[in-house]
């Protein structure tokens, strides 16, 4: 009986330890994190410089070179314009545009 309890405890401990590990493809290296922060700042800066975009209303997130845009704008033209501006930034691999018109 004691060996069975020990085996169950060992299995539970192993399951708990492995459950907290993220798959390798989900991890981001320090260099990737820095690159993504640079891309995010460049996209936001480009939005601020463009008088046709509501930069304060558009949120920018970057993960492994993939930019996600979200937020709300008042002009439908801003949705496509924001995606085009973001896609033109060096290092951007793709743009997911979740901006909505209010």
CA pair distance 44, 59, nearest whole angstrom? 8
Q: Band of the pLDDT at 8, cuts 50, 70, 90?
A: very low
pLDDT in tens, 20-66: 555 556 788 999 999 999 999 999 999 999 999 989 999 999 999 99
Q: What is the CATH number of domain 29-101?
A: 3.30.1340
Q: Residues 28-34: contacts with CB within 8 Å, 24+ apart?
A: 28/63, 28/64, 32/64
- Which pLDDT does position 88 carry in this prediction? 97
Report yes or no on whether pTM surpasses 0.75.
no
């Amino acid at each position: 009986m004691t060996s069975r309890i020990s085996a169950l405890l060992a299995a539970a401990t192993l399951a708990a330890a492995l459950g907290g590990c993220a798959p390798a493809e989900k991890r981001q290296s320090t260099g990737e994190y820095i690159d993504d922060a640079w891309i995010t700042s460049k996209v936001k800066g480009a939005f601020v410089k463009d008088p046709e975009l509501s930069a304060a209303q558009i949120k920018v997130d970057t993960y492994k070179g993939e930019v996600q845009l979200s937020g709300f704008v008042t002009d439908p033209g801003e949705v496509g314009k924001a995606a085009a501006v973001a896609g033109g930034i060096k290092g951007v691999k793709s743009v997911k545009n979740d901006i909505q018109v209010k």
